[in-house]
Amino acid sequence: MPAPIIRIDNLRKTFGALTVLDGLSFDVAPGEKLALIGPSGSGKTTILRILMTLESISGGHIEVCGEQLYHMPKGAALVPADEAHLHRMRRHIGMVFQHFNLFPHKSVLDNITLAPMLTKGEPRAKAEARAMELLDMVGLADKARAMPAQLSGGQKQRAAIARALALQPRIMLFDEVTSALDPELVEEVLLVMKRLAAETDMTMLLVTHEMGFAHEFADRVLFFDRGQIVEQGPPDRIFTAPSEPRTQAFLRKIIAAGHRV
Amino acid sequence: MIDWQGYIGLILDGAAVTAELTVMGAALAVVAAFAAGLGRVSRYWPLRALATVYIEFFRGTSIFVQLFWVYFVLPFAGITLQPLQAGVLALGLNVGAYAAEVVRGAILAVPRDQIEACVALNLTRGQRMRNVILPQALPLMLPTFGNNAIELLKGTAVVSLISLKDMTFQAQVVRAQTGSTLIPFATILVLYFLFASLIGWAMRRLERRVTRGLDGVRA
Ligand SMILES: Nc1ncnc2c1ncn2[C@@H]1O[C@H](COP(=O)(O)OP(=O)(O)OP(=O)(O)O)[C@@H](O)[C@H]1O
Ligand SMILES: [Mg+2]
């Protein structure tokens, strides 16, 4: 068993009086594809946002690639991380958002090359060559010069995936990347992600309501409710023979709502 | 018979002073507006405090008083300015204070998800501001900047207080010497209107340039 690439230990997160995560712990192995499922408001997005350092934490520890994410050593003690530490740690992690968050004032190509050129000092030619490879992979080679406003939702999301990949993070976070898309555009994005999952050894954490996709994509499924892991296991077991009543009820409701499992 | 050609020439000399004050005042105002606007959203409190004091002071007192201080009181502190320098300084800082709030508002109006994308791409704060936030905030600022520039143009008339001969001052001179009110004031009416139209035209061109490619993204 290799050492975990992510170690979440007794994580607490509150928003004012609302406790969203209360003593959450789990590990993720390098290269593992993890699907996080659960009812709305159970804290799935919050977990990804915390890993991307878009939220602060209220307690506990997170280790990423062998180093503390929200803490840094000072002498023998651990103190809260400063911006420089967070900046260093973010190299390891990338995220794809539900609403793409492309930069509207930059072409698809410039969206992708911006970060490699700024954060890694890559020369433009090298960054563009790599961006074209990525665009080819997501089937958008002919849209390199297009502005985001000229793309369909599915194309935007594929461009956003290429943008996140350009920094070659070891961990990728996907938060409901298809839920803002028209139904007929979902498939093209899922196809790209399936290829990605099959072809790379990147660690991936996926939040989704597409149970069929989670089943195919994931090595392990975590079912969350109210900030707790209720049940976890390989997708074949979770989706066909869940043992917890809450998991069973959730999956029944999802199937009734017309989602495929 | 009055020699109108000579009198119109006086007014045109005044127009040159007005134009000079407007252009140089606007240049200073842009610098002051970005410095103070960025200061207002800084994470360092001394910068925020400094920017707030500047903005509140210049918005809370009249340009008339500010000009008086710059020209007549600063010499007591050992700083003596030429009338034109004093006019540019007072006008630029005054309008810059209003425009700083425009800069701040436009920066804060850039959607939060853009900043989150920057964090996910590991850009530093400076890189976020330069490459993502300001380019998107600029189109939001320009229409109000145009209004600020026209306010500045109209405000230039106060400089007669410090003996600068701008076009309003010259019109009054001509009126006193000829006894005619209609001709000098009709002339400067047209000139102010032409200047304002020029500013409006230039701002619209600039706007079209910076929003290229952004169409359909935001209203
Ligand atoms: N910035 C915030 N301020 C206050 N409450 C928040 C904030 N962000 C999230 N919450 C609350 O935290 C809880 C968990 O939210 P989260 O977005 O993580 O849920 P989720 O599992 O992703 O749900 P969904 O499936 O609807 O996306 C919810 O009750 C939500 O209202
Ligand atoms: Mg969510």
pLDDT tens for A23-56 read 999 999 999 999 999 999 999 999 999 999 999 9
B contacts of A161 (beta carbons < 8 Å)? none
- In a mutational test of the pocket of ligand 1, which residue from A19, A44, A48 has the highest number of ligand atoms less than 8 Å from its CB? A44
- Structure-block tokens of residue A241: 């023979």
Amino acid found at A5: I
pLDDT in tens, A187-217: 899 999 999 988 899 999 999 998 999 999 9
DSSP 3-state of A230:
strand
Residues in chain B: 219
Low-confidence ranges of chain B (pLDDT < 70): 1, 213-219
Q: Does residue A245 surpass a pLDDT of 90?
A: yes
- The structure's pTM equals 0.90
Q: What is the pLDDT of residue B217?
A: 46
Amino acid found at B207: E
DSSP 3-state of B14:
helix
Give me the helices (H) in B110-133, please: 112-120, 125-128
B contacts of A90 (beta carbons < 8 Å)? 119-120, 122
Q: Is B130 in the A-facing interface, judged by CB distances under 8 Å? A: no
A41 ligand 1 Cβ < 6 A? yes
A51 ligand 1 Cβ < 6 A? no
Q: Does residue A257 surpass a pLDDT of 90?
A: no
Q: What is the mean pLDDT of chain A?
A: 94
- In a mutational test of the pocket of ligand 1, which residue from A19, A45, A179, A228 has the highest number of ligand atoms less than 8 Å from its CB? A45
Residues contacting residue B190 through CB under 8 Å, at least 6 positions apart: none
The DSSP symbol for A201 reads -
Cα–Cα distance between B35 and B96 in angstroms, integer?
9
Distances (CA, A) of B65 to A78, B59, B156, B161: 55, 12, 14, 10
Cα–Cα distance between B170 and A57 in angstroms, integer?
67
Nearest to B113 among A87, A99, A118 (CB): A99
Cβ contacts below 8 Å, chain A against chain B, sum to: 69
Ligand 1 atom nearest A176 alpha carbon: 27
A13 ligand 1 Cβ < 6 A? no
pLDDT in tens, A221-230: 999 999 999 9
- Structure-block tokens of residue B108: 């804060």
For range A4-17, the mean pLDDT = 96
Q: Which domains does chain B have, with CATH numbers?
A: 4-218 (1.10.3720.10)
Q: What is the pLDDT of residue B218?
A: 43
In terms of Cβ atoms closer than 10 Å to its own Cβ (0-12, 13-18, 19+), residue B136 is buried
B125/A114 touch (CB, cutoff 8 Å), yes or no: no
CA atoms lying within 13 Å on the CB side of residue A157: 24
CA distance A50 to chain B (A): 11
Q: What is the pLDDT of residue B216?
A: 46
Q: What is the pLDDT of residue B2?
A: 74
